[in-house]
Amino acid sequence: MDTTPKAGPKAARDDVRIMTLQSHILEQQAHHPQASGTFSWILSALSISAKIIADKVRRARLENVLGSVGTENIQGEVQQKLDVLANDVLLRTLGGREGVAIVASEENEEPVILREEVEGVPRYCVLFDPLDGSSNLDICGGVGTIFSILEHKGNGASVQDSLLQPGYKQVAAGYVLYGSSTVFVLTIGQGVDLFVLDPSIGAFMRVERSLMIPSGNKTYSVNEGNRKVFPEGYQRYLDWAQSNGYSGRYAGAMVADVHRILLKGGVFLYPPTKKAPEGKLRLMYEANPMAMIIEQAGGKTFAGCGQRVMDIQPTAIHQRTPVILGATDQVALVLAHLEKDSGQHA
Ligand code: AHG
Ligand code: MN
Ligand code: MN
């Protein structure tokens, strides 16, 4: 068989092709002739936001934007200056896109309605955690942005009805990790692709396609400081894992912890605690988008009691959920230890 690359774009091998996030989005759009480009414009707004936030994160110390603003968000958590800045960047970039009907953010108590419904015009809702793990900023640790995109229901649906859709209805989801490099991870429901920001040209370059989570990694990621207030099943799992050669890895920023699991395998847990029976993580803009990424990469995500995260019918924009996610083999081992408890809020 002649394997010599042929001339012309179709013949270009994927491993030698230079593909930016922008071209990737346009390429995906070309596969959907009915697509109007509205959706692509939204993804491009997220990419621009990521570059602006990455720049602010890198310059945080120089520009004195570390530390808190002295206010709390709806979750009762202290807002860092960069939480507010990143939120503002996303609101401004998405606000300029015709296709965005509603945005909802961790940092805003109420959703922001940007545009009224116009018949025949497809519109979307974008939900986000503008800066995840923001307490890591002061120590130069990894932080991120998480986003989830839902179709706006239209037909006079209320804001609540448009936003409160279960995770399996997401049309796209992703995150940006501002780490030792800036990484953009995206799924539009056809696998997971990974892009890295090349700062010298200001573009996200595609470096991996159709990522699949490796199995067999004996690593768990959990805040073990809470261990004594976890339901018993989680404590049993940790006892078992520690007797079976497991390592612990915990960055304290969901984006950084999930990114490691996406690339290396293992399991991430944020269980319920006595103080927070629903756990800490937010369903709509933390758990659901991460669940879509993980499942698209062949993994599993549960909220406990065997319920898949993306099947939860949300009742409030800022609701929380326990989270177990990661490689299918490692998640199964956690669930096996939880199943012994009946009726526990696992
Ligand atoms: P945020 O900074 O957006 O409020 O999110 C922090 C979250 C998440 O990133 C992380 O997994 C978790 O908080 C860590 O919580 P603990 O400090 O309780 O372990
Ligand atoms: Mn967060
Ligand atoms: Mn946040």
258-270: per-residue pLDDT in tens? 999 999 999 999 9
Number of domains in the chain: 2
Ligand 1 atom with the shortest distance to the CA of 135 = 2
Residue 245: CATH number of its domain: 3.40.190.80
- Rounded average pLDDT over 136-146: 94
Res. 346 pLDDT band, cuts 50 70 90? very low
Q: Are residues 188 and 234 in the same domain?
A: no
Condensed to tens digits (0 to 9), the pLDDT of residues 195-207 reads 999 999 999 999 9
The binding-site residues of ligand 1, defined as CB within 6 angstroms of any ligand atom, are 77, 106, 129, 132-134, 223, 252-254, 270, 280
Closest-approaching ligand to the CA atom of 134: 1
Percent of the chain, pLDDT > 70?
92
Residue 278 has which token pair? 């629903």
Q: Which atom of ligand 1 is nearest to the CA of 250?
A: 19
Pocket test for ligand 1, best of 80, 143, 250, 280 (most atoms within 8 A of CB): 280
Tell whether 156 is covered by a domain.
Answer: yes
Joined tokens for residue 142: 């990894």
* Among candidate residues 175, 208, 241, the one where a domain is terminated: 208
Q: Could you say which ligand is closest to the alpha carbon of residue 227?
A: 1
pLDDT of residue 274: 87
Does position 234 have pLDDT exceeding 80, yes or no? yes
Ligand 1 pocket test, candidate residues 260, 286, 290, 325, most atoms within 8 A of CB: 286
For residues 20 and 157, state if they share a domain: yes
Please tell me whether residue 175 adopts helix, strand or coil conformation: strand
Q: Tell me the pLDDT band of 34, cut-offs 50, 70 and 90.
A: low
- Do residues 145 and 262 share a domain? no
Residue 214 belongs to a domain: no
| Residue 15: per-residue pLDDT | 61
- pLDDT tens column, 64-95: 778 787 777 767 777 778 999 999 999 999 99
**Residue 345 pLDDT more than 70?**
no
pLDDT category, 249, cuts 50, 70, 90?
A: very high
Q: Are residues 104 and 176 in the same domain?
A: yes
Ligand 1 atom index nearest CA of 129: 3
Q: Give the whole-angstrom CA distance, residue 304 versus residue 324.
A: 7
Residue range(s) defining the domain that contains residue 250? 219-338
Quick one: 178 and 268 in the same domain? no
Assess if residue 345 is contained within a domain.
Answer: no
pTM of the model: 0.92
Q: Which residues neighbour ligand 2 (ion) by CB within 5 Å?
A: 129, 132
Ligand 2: distance of its center to the CA of 286 in Å? Answer: 6
Do 236 and 199 lie in one domain? The reply is no
